[in-house]
Structure 1
Amino acid sequence: MRLLQLNYFLNVAVTQNISRSARTLNVSQPSLSRSIHDLEAELGVPLFTRNGHSLALNDAGRRFAIQVRAGLNEVNHAVRDLHRFSEINSNQVTLRFESSTAVLPGLLERLDSELPMIHIHLMQNGFEQDRLHHYDFEFTTKPVFNNRNFHLLKEEIIVRFPKAHCKTSDMEVHPEELVKWPLIMTESNPLRDQMTSMLQQAGVTVRPSFVTGDRQTILGLVRAGQGICFMPQYSWAGTDVSGTVAYHFAPQKVFRDIYLSATESTMRLPYRSEIADAIQRYFVDLVAD
């Protein structure tokens, strides 16, 4: 039993004439007759009393028509309500981050400027109230399988030393040299995981002397001569690095990538392509600055 079949039934119930209903519904007369017969066969109950080309609802048909009309009204109401809900929620976009990022305020300001009709919601990995909660875009350091992934930037990971203790001129540091300094690190996040793995592969045991999630505190401690830290080239934008100096890893520099990831179904929703474009432009400008 199909909704279209029930709509056909209600139309014939009103016109009481197959030919007239066929013209109204823009279907062939044989197709409409077959649809009505199939419905009666499925129900196992005749719905009409037939007299040539004319039909009239019998008692079972009148009872069924009342219930079908009420049911289809509910279905139509549900469809309209869903459309309204979709229109409202198409303007609400959730961005999920693996960890907090200093570029976030500037990114939100850019999105609000270019797409003022969009309402942004934020979600951070590990702090979701509902693990199944939907999000539209995810910022990640690795492409997500089966998603559409936009490469936002490739940034170098540098080592920040106190400026007062800077004695060398080549501005390079080997991983094994880091054991001479107290290491100030972020709380657990993808940057820390990457650097810990890299140092372990180089045979360096990582024992942070101080851990904090506040970037200004990390740089302030380095400035005060309390240790050294790792710092991404771009994504800590706006952090005060005065009183510190940047060293590059040697013999090879260390980099990380940042991606914007979304499912293909998400990208087909209203405004998602515009949002992805705006985010990519923001990161292009971030690197250019």
Structure 2
Amino acid sequence: MELRQLHYFLKVAQKEHVTQAAEELHVAQSAVSRQIHQLEEELGVDLFMQKGRNLQLTAVGQLFCKRVEGILKDLDKAVGEVHEFLDPEHGEIRIGFPHSLGIHLIPSVVAAFRQRYPNVKFRFKQGMYPTLIRDVLSAEVDLAFISPFPEKHDQVAGDIVLTEELHAILPPNHPLAGEEKIALEQLKDDKFVLFSKGYSLRPIVWHACLEAGFTPKIAFEGEETDTIRGLVAAGMGVSLLPEMALFQTNPLQPAHVEISHPKVTRTIGLIHRADDKLPLVAQSFRSFLLHYFGLQQNNTPSE
């Protein structure tokens, strides 16, 4: 069975006439008839029956036609995706990121990239740390921002693009709310509002508290930075958030204070599959991001 036979079959099915199909295909009528006959012989069924001067699909021909339409549509889509893969100024970039980066960083870098490449499309997928790793490995996304950066992982590769400091956030009426800097130890008697288990910021805050000499007492848990900020602003406890998660998105806001000791930071990395070549449009976006964050690319892979 040849692809040409499927194209000829579908055109005859649409026109219900061999001559008209041949005219649209710009081939001889005999060539179309021959290909249809060969297809029917190979399948062992009649795909068409004569109805006056026209041809009509048989019952099995109708079934076969639906499948052929789907096959050819998928094939056209695949060809288009290949062309997009090879075009750095068009196509679609599939990118994953944690929720905390969706407030400011992702909109900023995408807007900056689209000023240079306005025809590129983006598909976004938010997720927690293990979900983002899985999405990269399963090719659900081409690239993913992730925090913390996975220093040792056999199947993903990438670069640290940013190291960000975490600040303490406090209820507006907290005794330390007016301070410029505090030591984390000063919050040892406070109750904490932390991210739920599975979110990468939770262990960062937990280990920072242990380093400061205490185990945090958890009052509430949340799954979004807006929730954490809102609970703290409402006086439900204190917490630590990255700088880029401090952008105001609602009227009720906590106070935020720098931490002098210990310094609490998180790494943000940009990862991709280690054993797979990125589409050119995704490669272009990756190169743009490395320069955007002030990194220098080597001629050899950084991985």
Distance 1:80 1:279, change over 3 A: same
- Pick closer, same or farther for the CA change 1:124–1:156 going to 2, 3 Å: same
The number of equivalent residue pairs is 209
State how 1:123-272 maps to structure 2 within 5 Å. Answer: 123-125=125-127, 132-140=138-146, 141-143=148-150, 145=153, 147-167=156-176, 169=179, 171-175=181-185, 177-188=186-197, 189-239=199-249, 244-250=255-261, 252-263=262-273, 266=276, 268-272=278-282
C-alpha spacing 1:266/1:121, structure 2 compared with 1 (3 Å) = farther
Flag structure 1 segments of 5+ consecutive residues without an equivalent: 1-65, 71-76, 285-289
One-letter identity of the residue aligned with 2:95:
L
- Counterpart of 1:244, as a letter, is A
Counterparts of 2:79 and 2:180, CA distance in 1: 63
Structure 1 stretch 141-150 or stretch 154-163: which is displaced more? 141-150
Are the equivalent residues in 2 in contact too, given 1:172–1:249 (CA < 8 A)? Answer: yes
What SS class does the counterpart of residue 209 from structure 1 fall into? Answer: strand
Contact 1:166 1:245 (8 Å CA) reproduced = no
Q: Which has the larger radius of gyration?
A: 1
Q: Any idea what SS the aligned residue of 1:227 has? A: coil
Matched AA of 1:97: F
CA 80–221 in structure 1, closer or farther in 2 if over 3 Å, else same: closer
| Cross-structure match for 2:284 | 274
Deviation readout 1:209-236 (Å, 9 max, x if unpaired): 1222333343233333332111112354
Identity among equivalent positions (%) equals: 18
Secondary structure class of the residue paired with 1:164: coil
Looking at structure 1, the residues matched to 277 and 257 of structure 2 have their Cα atoms a distance apart, in angstroms, of 39
Higher alpha-carbon deviation: 199-208 or 78-87: 78-87
Q: Distance in 2 between matches of 1:125 and 1:242?
A: 25
Runs of 5+ consecutive residues of structure 2 not aligned to the other structure: 1-37, 43-71, 295-303
Q: What's the offset of the Cα at 1:258?
A: 0.6
1:34-86 Cα deviation digits (max 9, x unpaired)? xxxxxxxxxxxxxxxxxxxxxxxxxxxxxxxx9xxx9xxxxxx9999854431
Instruction: Give the TM-score taking structure 2 as reference length.
Output: 0.55
CA contact (8 A) 1:154 1:255 kept: yes
C-alpha distance in structure 1 between counterparts of 2:293 and 2:246, whole Å: 13
Q: 1:158–1:249: 8 Å Cα contact kept in structure 2?
A: no
1:242 to 1:134, Cα distance in 2 relative to 1, 3 A: closer
Residue aligned with 1:165, SS: coil
C-alpha distance 275-267 of structure 1, shift in aligned 2 (>3 A) = farther
Instruction: Classify 1:197/1:174 alpha carbon distance in 2 versus 1 (closer, same or farther; 3 Å).
Output: closer
Shift of 1:159: 0.8
Q: Which amino acid is the alignment partner of residue 169 of structure 2?
A: R
Give the structure-1-normalised TM-score.
Answer: 0.58
In the alignment, what sits opposite 2:95? 95
Please report how far the alpha carbon of residue 118 of structure 1 lies from its aligned counterpart in structure 2 after TM superposition. Answer: 2.1
Q: Can you list the C-alpha shifts for 1:246-270, whole angstroms capped at 9, x where unaligned?
A: 13141x3111111111235655531
SS of 1:277 mapped into structure 2: helix
Check the 8 A contact 2:145/2:269 in 1, yes or no. Answer: yes
Superposed CA RMSD in Å reads 3.8
Give a deviation string over 1:11-42, Cα, whole Å, max 9, x none: xxxxxxxxxxxxxxxxxxxxxxxxxxxxxxxx
Kept after mapping to 2: 8 A contact 1:155/1:232? yes
Is residue 157–residue 233 contact of structure 1 (8 Å, CA) maintained in 2? yes
* One of 104, 116, 120 as aligned partner of 1:118: 120
* Distance (Å, rounded) in 2 between the aligned partners of 1:142 and 1:99: 16
**Deviations for 1:101-127, whole angstroms, at most 9, x for unmatched residues?**
223333333343332222212223366
Specify the code of the residue in structure 2 equivalent to 1:230. L
Match of 1:109 among 104, 108, 111: 111
